[in-house]
Amino acid sequence: MALIGALIGGMTNHLAIKMLFWPYEAKYIGKFRLPFTPGLIPKRRDELSRQLGRTVVEHLLTPETFKKRFFNEAMHKKTENWLNRQLDLHLFSSPRTFNEWLELANQQDIDRKLESKLDGLVDRNRDAIDEYIAGKTVRELLPEAWKPGIEEKIFGGVKYTIGRGTDYFASPAGRQTVKSLLDEFLVSRGRFGSVLHNLFGDSQSITNKTQSEIIKFLNSPKTFELLGTLAFREWEKLQDKRADELLKEFDAEPAIAAIKQYARDQAGISKRLDASLAETWPRGLEWTSVNITPLITDFAFELGEQKLEETILKIDMENMVRQQVDSLPLSRLEELVLGISRREFKMITVLGAFLGGFIGILQGLLVTVLNLG
C-alpha cells in the first residue's frame, strides 16, 4: 500500500504539473473535445498575456521605476562626466585647427568671408551715422551734458595757449624770433627803417622792448578775455552748422579704409583660425564644465522626465508585452517556466509521492488493526 500510494501521489502531481502545458492544443474524439485539453496555460494564454502586460506596465516598468533608475543623482553625475570627457576628447584636446574643423564641414575661405563681414559692419555703421546726422546741426547732435565740459575746455585751451606763448617769447628762441622779425621789418622799410633805428637805438634795444611788450600783452586779462570771447563766438558759430555739411569738407574714405584695416588687424581672423581650440581657449574645458555642461545635463534630464510618461504611452508597452507573449512558442514558454521552477516542481512531485506513501502506510496499519480485531 505504501508503494502504491507513493506511485499514485507522485504520478498525479507530475501529471498535474504537465497538464499546466500539455497538451498544447485541444484533443478531439470525433467532435467531442477531451476534457482538460489543451493545458491550463495554453488555454489561458490570451488572459495570461494581458495580465502579464498589465502587471509589467502597472507594477514593474512604471514611469517612477524609470525615473529612479535613470534620473537619479548618480546617473546625472555620470552623464555630466561623460559629456566632459567627450568635450575634452573631441574638442579641447583635439589638435585640429578651426580651419580644419571648417574644412570637415565643407566651408572654405572663412577668413575672407569674416573680414568681408567686418567691412560690411563698418559700412553699415557709417551709413547709420550718415542717416542719423542728416540735416541736423552740431548743436542738435551734441549731448547737453557735454556742452559745459567743452566750454570749459575752450577757455582752458585759450589759457594754455597764452601760457605757452608767454613761455616761448620769454625764452631765447622767442627773443631771437622777435629780433629776426624786427630786423626784417626795419630793412624792408628802407630810410624809414633807418630813422626808427636811430630813434630807438640798436636792434637789441628794440628787441628787448618789443619782447617785454609782447609778454605784457599776453599776460593782460584783457587779452585772455578777448581771445576767450573770440573762441567762444567761433564755437557758437560751429554749433549752428549742419554736421553733414561739415563732414563733406573732409574725405572720409581714407579714414574708413583705415578703420576697416584696424578692425581686421585687431580681429586677426586668419591667425585665430589657424590655431586649435586648446591654444585659443586653454581653460575652455574648465569653464565649460562649470557653466555649460551642468546646464545641458539639467535640461536633458528635465526634458527626459517630462517626456518619459508620454513616451511610454506612445510605446504602448502593455500591448507590446502581450504581443511578445502571444508570439512566444508554447514549448519555449514551458522551457522558461520549468527552467525557473524545475526544482520546485520536482519537490512537488516528491512531496506527492511522500504523502501517497505515508497514506498507504496508514492504510496498511489500519487494515492490520482491523484484521486483528
Q: Which of 191, 215, 241 is the last residue of a domain?
A: 241
In the predicted structure, residue 204 carries a pLDDT above the cut 70: no
Q: Is residue 117 part of a domain?
A: no
Q: Which of 193, 225, 241 is the last residue of a domain?
A: 241
Domains of the chain: total: 2
φ, ψ dihedrals at 97, nearest 5°:
-85, 170
Average pLDDT, the chain: 78
Q: Is residue 29 part of a domain?
A: yes
Same-domain status, 235 and 147:
yes
Q: Is residue 247 part of a domain?
A: no
275-290 burial: b if 16+ Cβ within 10 Å, else e: ebbbeeeeebbeebbe
Q: Is residue 54 part of a domain?
A: yes
Give the lowest-confidence range in 49-58, 164-173, 332-341. 332-341
The pLDDT value recorded for residue 356 is 76
In the predicted structure, residue 316 carries a pLDDT above the cut 70: no
* Nearest alpha-carbon partner for 231 in 150, 134, 119: 150
Q: Which of 194, 219, 241 is the last residue of a domain?
A: 241
* pTM score, whole prediction: 0.49
Q: What three-state secondary structure class fits 276? A: strand
Give the domain range for residue 19: 2-69+300-372
Q: What three-state secondary structure class fits 97? A: strand
Radius of gyration of the chain measured on its C-alpha atoms:
54
Q: Is residue 75 part of a domain?
A: no
Q: Is residue 190 part of a domain?
A: yes
Q: Which residue has the higher pLDDT, 352 or 104?
A: 104
Give the lowest-confidence range in 142-156, 202-216, 285-299. 202-216
Percent of the chain with pLDDT over 70: 72
Q: Is residue 202 part of a domain?
A: yes
**Is residue 16 classed exposed, middle or buried when 0-12, 13-18 and 19+ CB atoms within 10 A define those classes?**
middle
In the predicted structure, residue 31 carries a pLDDT above the cut 60: yes
Q: pLDDT (tens digit, 9 = 90+) per residue, 217-243? A: 888 888 888 888 898 888 888 888 888
The pLDDT value recorded for residue 120 is 92
Q: How many helices (H) and strands (E) does the chain have?
A: 21, 2
Same-domain status, 237 and 304:
no
Q: Is residue 272 part of a domain?
A: no
Same-domain status, 237 and 306:
no
Report the alpha-carbon distance of residue 315 to residue 323 in Å, rounded.
Answer: 13
Same-domain status, 215 and 310:
no
The pLDDT value recorded for residue 335 is 66
Same-domain status, 161 and 228:
yes
In the predicted structure, residue 203 carries a pLDDT above the cut 70: no
226 grid coordinates: 578777448
Same-domain status, 320 and 228:
no
